[in-house]
Structure 1
Amino acid sequence: MPPRRYAGHVYTPAMLRRLAQRLNKPEYFFRPAQLLKRLSRPRWLNGTAERELLLPWGLKLRVHPRENIGLSVLHLGIYDLVVTETLHRLIDPGEHVADVGANLGYMTSLMARRVGRHGRVVSFEPHPLLFTRLQENIARWRDVPDLGTVTPVRAAVADRVAEGQLVVPAGFESNNGLSFVATDAVADARERIRIQLTTLDAHFSDAPAPAVVKIDTEGNEASVFAGADRLLTSEQGIRDIVFEDHGAYPTPAMRRVEERGYTLFQLRKEFTGPGLADARQALPEGMWEPTSYLATRDATRARLRLSVSGWKCLRG
């Protein structure tokens, strides 16, 4: 497509795509009160101390406005809309689910609401500061009725049960999700924290398998899957996996789940709702939001659940 001229300015196709992505804010269109709240909020409030914010599904979350999750919830009322919506639609009441890389508990809160009083959420977070904040947020929900049981686990999920090290890179203060499990290939002098490693197979050896698992481990996804081979191959194993992966298809994580019989989709944020794309498709040019995928044993169910227009998570 050739460049186009609007109001005397020339816009290239790449510029128009980036503009369309920035205007793709269903968080405001479907919740206009959130836009009014942002426009009326004094700018000096954005960088102040920790605040307790109310999420659309009725649970409170204590966040810091300078961090990526806190800033997003403060401005948009929600964080990572397409992953939030996907989990909202895939989780059924009474199910057992897992949040791998729980951070301060945003996705955990949604999962606890969706599984209801007879369900269970296991939340893994290895960073000591984030784990404390996760525990504190879980405590805020203790008296909320019809909420699932939430069990926080201070460990990183990997391919073995052992001690390990967590690398905390520069920029962690503004994005608490950047830390990752150290490997032999990591040899720089960044801060490291001694942590416990576990596997999904080991943790759920004497418990029902989680039906849905969310994974955000900053490049450690293949290791997580390597430690979950029993759960990935069992008929009573994991049904749906929502995971972040910044690599181009096929990454080691993508290959492993496909080899275990899962159908892989790329999650897309469309204005009218979540979209399922072929995982082999190239990522949209200029995309700046996290790239996430759905691996599912029941593709028909996933397509049906995610085909309905709208954003249910914005309504609670």
Structure 2
Amino acid sequence: MHVSRRLREQGVWEPYESSLVLDFLAPGDVFVDVGANIGYFSLLAASRVGPAGAVFAFEPDPDNFTLLTDSVAANGKQDIVHPIRAALAAKTGEARLYLSENNLGDHQIFAAEEGRQSRAIKLLNGAEALSGRLQRLDLLKIDTQGSEYGVVQGLMPLLTSLPTRPRVIIELTPLSLRQCGSSGRALVELLAELDQPLWIIDHLEHRLVASSIGELSQWCDNVDAVAGDAGFMNILVGEGPG
């Protein structure tokens, strides 16, 4: 009802974010897609990084994962895109994925709503999963419906050990983060450890708005102060275009 419908009708999903992915990548680059869903951004990145580059796509839901792998094959990108059927987290283990009936991009690893069916999934520590598989990382995209803090926590040893810090595009939803046991403020403060510029991705005006740890943390606190407020934004950690 969401991603696939938009792709059928318009041929693009999140146009501005798509343009940023293309702007931030070049042939030979490495892209990591956490919460890859059906593979739209993974394939978009593959078209840019080419055979000399690599895309690592993490998706825990078996139905979405099948669509992801089918799309990779249909587009002839098997040598570039490496699909992994797992969710990233702070620790390797197992969890339940709670399924949304009408939005296959809104599955969550926590039970925020009653009545959601669930499936057993594998959790991987990101640094351990990617160690030895890449020597560089140019762009990291994380969209995991509230579990972003654990994803970043698990990846942090890898991110801080790389010669060059990658750009990070990540969803910031205080309500979902809190339901998953973290908070928007905690995620912002964790991302600040990368010591990179922070930007709000403005999907309406198609621009990046410079921000700060304090401003983003205050915004998260303001959202948290309103019961049930599901406000969210995508942010960029790293240098802007050009």
TM-score by length of 1: 0.64
Partner of 1:131: 65
Secondary structure (helix, strand or coil) at the match of 2:163 reads coil
The offset of 1:190, in angstroms, is: 2.2
Question: 1:154 and 1:235 mapped to 2: Cα distance?
Answer: 25
Secondary structure (helix, strand or coil) at the match of 2:69 reads helix
Secondary structure (helix, strand or coil) at the match of 1:214 reads strand
Question: 2:119 and 2:233 mapped to 1: Cα distance?
Answer: 27
Secondary structure (helix, strand or coil) at the match of 2:83 reads strand
Partner of 1:74: 8
Question: 1:264 and 1:213 mapped to 2: Cα distance?
Answer: 14
Partner of 1:177: 105
Secondary structure (helix, strand or coil) at the match of 1:207 reads coil
Alignment-mate amino acid for residue 104 of structure 2: N
Secondary structure (helix, strand or coil) at the match of 1:97 reads strand
Aligned-residue identity in percent: 26
The offset of 1:187, in angstroms, is: 8.2
Partner residue of 1:245 out of 156, 169, 172 = 172
Question: 1:198 and 1:237 mapped to 2: Cα distance?
Answer: 23
Question: 1:215 and 1:126 mapped to 2: Cα distance?
Answer: 13
Question: 2:108 and 2:46 mapped to 1: Cα distance?
Answer: 25
Contact 2:174/2:231, CA 8 A, preserved across alignment = no
**How many pairs does the alignment contain?**
221
Alignment-mate amino acid for residue 152 of structure 1: P
Question: 1:194 and 1:73 mapped to 2: Cα distance?
Answer: 29
The offset of 1:131, in angstroms, is: 0.6
Residue 118 (structure 2) pairs with residue 192 (structure 1)? yes
The offset of 1:71, in angstroms, is: 1.9
Secondary structure (helix, strand or coil) at the match of 1:165 reads strand
Q: CA RMSD in A?
A: 2.6
Aligned CA distance change for structure 1 residues 235 and 103 (closer, same or farther; 3 Å): closer
User: Which consecutive unaligned segments of at least 5 residues does structure 2 have?
Assistant: 176-182, 221-229
Mapping 1:289-300, distance limit 5 Å? 291-296=233-238, 299=239
Partner residue of 2:211 out of 250, 260, 278 = 278
Contact 1:231/1:238, CA 8 A, preserved across alignment = no
Question: 1:115 and 1:187 mapped to 2: Cα distance?
Answer: 39
User: Which consecutive unaligned segments of at least 5 residues does structure 1 have?
Assistant: 1-66, 305-316
TM-score by length of 2: 0.82
Secondary structure (helix, strand or coil) at the match of 1:228 reads helix
The offset of 1:251, in angstroms, is: 2.5
Question: 1:216 and 1:113 mapped to 2: Cα distance?
Answer: 20
Partner residue of 2:144 out of 214, 217, 222 = 217
The offset of 1:85, in angstroms, is: 1.2
Structure with max Cα Rg: 1
Residue 90 (structure 2) pairs with residue 163 (structure 1)? no
Residue 132 (structure 2) pairs with residue 201 (structure 1)? no
Question: 1:154 and 1:148 mapped to 2: Cα distance?
Answer: 17
- Summarize deviations over 1:30-61 as a string: whole Å, max 9, x none: xxxxxxxxxxxxxxxxxxxxxxxxxxxxxxxx
